[in-house]
Structure 1
């Protein structure tokens, strides 16, 4: 096991650093303390390195504009209806930054420079990132202390553990926003196969917020329970997929050990995901390859997210993501790669 890091810049009064984690079987992971970001995952295939998540060309590019590639997005991932949290008779107003709604926490945790502590054990290497998001930042109450830890082991497993603690009642629903592309960087996901242990999904409106309650995946393009290619869903003609130009939908997990499995079209790389989150939001890079400066060279449908989180709410009732003061919030995600 090997862990190295280098400084590549200076921002927000802190060093910007890139970390390289390597196991004994040729798998390597790159991390940034900018946004506690998963920058790159590479595995050996046929004597060469295959990069299996969407990445920018260099670490310096990540802070140039918000891109969500591998970042720890918070305090809120996804949209909040009208930017409102109704708590009893009080309504907290968050910044409106997505049409009439709030999205991705405003100036989010993925745009901030985190402190770090590397750790090396006999059969693992880790980096612990920490951040204090102050009371009132982006309109959120409470001093929120965050720690995000990435751990690589010799079993090809990359662990992501996020903990949070607030000194005031607040709302919190973060996620890791990695895009998986198991056929390699620059490919499309049409032939990538997805297995998803979810009987229900949430249909959405034009603005991306849920219409209301859950709908069964049975007989729809959203049924991945037995596994199918992403292209089968993307080219299905389903009205929901047409509305968002691809998948951009929450799935309610059944709670089994393996929540999802992604398999490359050639079968040479697969990834099993497990999590304690109640839902996964799948987004298929629908807007990539268009006008965005940094992701314009990444193809539309060039990757898919598996965002472990609580499903977004259709109203200002956010009781499912309320964090009480003095209680520790925990999220665990495992990405197990076979190659």
Structure 2
């Protein structure tokens, strides 16, 4: 096979070939591991997490994220009736933008309508479908890897040439840290998130026996297209009040308003594996998602058959449709200023 392009980094001891894009660009898979036996595999297609192995107190290793074994499966997944976005980096704007339009500095922008007339997760070719470069690696201590993407001006009709750096760090405290930074040549809007589906019982199990906690007393009210109305729903006496942990619901697709502090924003618990995942972020919301209309026919890695309750997403981000809601947190990135998004998924054994 003729290789027209190679990844920025040649294969190293912690990377291997993951396949080839239609134009023969080679995609590599990189591994970060710590002294505790925790390992994460990330490919430079979409800066996507394909595997996250956690040692449990019962002496076994469990892969806690959904994914595929091959690049072709990731590529094909975007043609499903509802693309799952397994483990990917979502941008330029995570969530829905109403009527696929927004106004910035008095100018109107029309985006791709890829979700019931709305724009979802950056449009037809969001950041999860792009090839990222690897620009830095640190293998000792707390190993890390930095992926970089240059999104051209008017990419999916978003203004400004945007450079994004995403650094994954695996700490000795069993934390997977995600540090996003971005700068633009023009004023633009931005909302980046991570889209792993987690399952602490293992990626081939159901999440319904696991419990979740969310430190939120309200969530965004949405219309029938799941676009925010601009109002908020109080969670006291609501089925989705997870301030006291309760079982994962079989279907949820909601943005919870959280306080930006150093405390746990959300958590997932497995009594089967005595495992806890805590989520920390500097973002104003965590979007919780379980379900999807494509999962009953989806073959995942290691011959797992994924279904609607195979995993749960904790998408730390700004509010969907914030560009069209003046009272939502500001989503504008000014020319020359720096966007900073921080998210941590911390794994702990529980008794």
**Fold-level match, TM-score > 0.5?**
yes
| Alignment match, 1:109 | 127
User: Does structure 2 retain, via aligned residues, the 8 Å contact 1:199–1:254?
Assistant: no
Q: How does 1:122-201 map to 2 (within 5 A)?
A: 122-201=140-219
| Alignment match, 1:39 | 50
Separation in structure 2 between the aligned mates of residue 288 and residue 187 of structure 1, nearest angstrom: 17
User: Does structure 1 retain, via aligned residues, the 8 Å contact 2:134–2:146?
Assistant: yes
Q: TM-score, normalized by length of structure 2?
A: 0.87
| Alignment match, 2:75 | 63
Post-superposition offset of 1:29 = 0.5
User: Does structure 2 retain, via aligned residues, the 8 Å contact 1:209–1:314?
Assistant: no
Post-superposition offset of 1:90 = 2.5
User: Does structure 2 retain, via aligned residues, the 8 Å contact 1:32–1:59?
Assistant: no
Aligned to 1:105, the other structure's residue is in SS state coil
Q: 1:113 to 1:92 in 2, by over 3 A?
A: same
Separation in structure 1 between the aligned mates of residue 154 and residue 334 of structure 2, nearest angstrom: 16
Q: Which runs of 5+ in 2 are unaligned?
A: 1-11, 79-83
1:306 to 281, 302, 314: 314
Post-superposition offset of 1:64 = 2.8
| Alignment match, 1:239 | none
Post-superposition offset of 1:255 = 2.6
User: Does structure 2 retain, via aligned residues, the 8 Å contact 1:3–1:20?
Assistant: no
| Alignment match, 1:254 | 259
User: Does structure 1 retain, via aligned residues, the 8 Å contact 2:297–2:307?
Assistant: no
2:292 to 282, 286, 293: 286
| Alignment match, 1:297 | 305
Aligned to 2:293, the other structure's residue is in SS state coil
| Alignment match, 1:241 | none
- The runs of at least 4 aligned residues of structure 1 exceeding 4 Å deviation read 291-296
CA RMSD of aligned residues (A): 2.2
Q: TM-score, normalized by length of structure 1?
A: 0.90
Does residue 210 in structure 1 map to residue 228 in structure 2? yes
Post-superposition offset of 1:96 = 1.0
Does residue 20 in structure 1 map to residue 20 in structure 2? no
Separation in structure 2 between the aligned mates of residue 95 and residue 294 of structure 1, nearest angstrom: 29
How many corresponding residue pairs? 325
| Alignment match, 2:269 | 263
User: Does structure 2 retain, via aligned residues, the 8 Å contact 1:34–1:63?
Assistant: no
Separation in structure 1 between the aligned mates of residue 270 and residue 43 of structure 2, nearest angstrom: 26
